[in-house]
Amino acid sequence: MFTANQLFLIVHITVSVVFLHAFAGGLATLIRVPTGPIARRVQIASVIGMALTAWATVISGTWMIYPGYRAEPPAATTLDAYPRAWLLSSDATAWWHTFGMEWKEHIGWLAPFLATAVAVVVLAHGDLVRRDRRIRRVLTAMFTTAFAATLVAAGLGAAINKVAPNDFLLN
């Protein structure tokens, strides 16, 4: 029905969509001051949810999708099933790997670290977060930076999937 690579891609995309929704929930709870025990629990669940889904997104992309992308082609074969090699085979497309995948490989990992930092601060210093607007602003900026890094990485991933052949998904 599905190849392993296709299933991995479905898992990665699903977790990514959940991450995007978790961002909206987490951001809303940071902007608005929680005013009761239920609101506080929602805030904690939201920021922890974003951190967990950020980790799941990056880990699934790194260990489930990226190995298929970077597979080395055997000698004297077509590059259709080897997107990294195909991109690097031409100066016109090499930029997609050297910039696009480098962003995804390195900057994409910024999102789970920032989201985790926000979750830790909310968990450890919840009362202070509720009282101090400056702390909420800093946490909101960290959350938004994590989201922005993810959006750029997702956009580059979608563009690379359009530019490079993705026949490796069929294997």
Q: Is 104 exposed, middle or buried (0-12, 13-18, 19+ CB in 10 A)?
A: buried
Tell me the per-residue pLDDT of 65-116, one tens digit each, with 9 for 90 and over. Answer: 888 888 888 887 888 888 899 999 999 999 999 998 888 888 889 999 999 9
In the chain, the number of structural domains is 1
Q: Does the residue 86 lie in any domain?
A: no
Nearest 5°: the CA angle 131, 34, 122 is: 65
The CATH number assigned to the domain holding 166 equals 1.20.120
Q: Does the residue 117 lie in any domain?
A: yes
pLDDT of residue 52: 95
Task: At 38, give phi and psi (nearest 5°).
Answer: -70, -45
Q: Does the residue 81 lie in any domain?
A: no
Report how far residue 159's alpha carbon sits from residue 162's, in angstroms, rounded to the nearest whole number.
5
Q: Does the residue 90 lie in any domain?
A: no
pLDDT of residue 37: 87
Q: What is the residue range of 40's domain?
A: 4-73+99-170
Q: Over 70: is that where the pLDDT of 142 sits? A: yes
pLDDT of residue 166: 73
Q: Does the residue 166 lie in any domain?
A: yes
Q: Does the residue 78 lie in any domain?
A: no
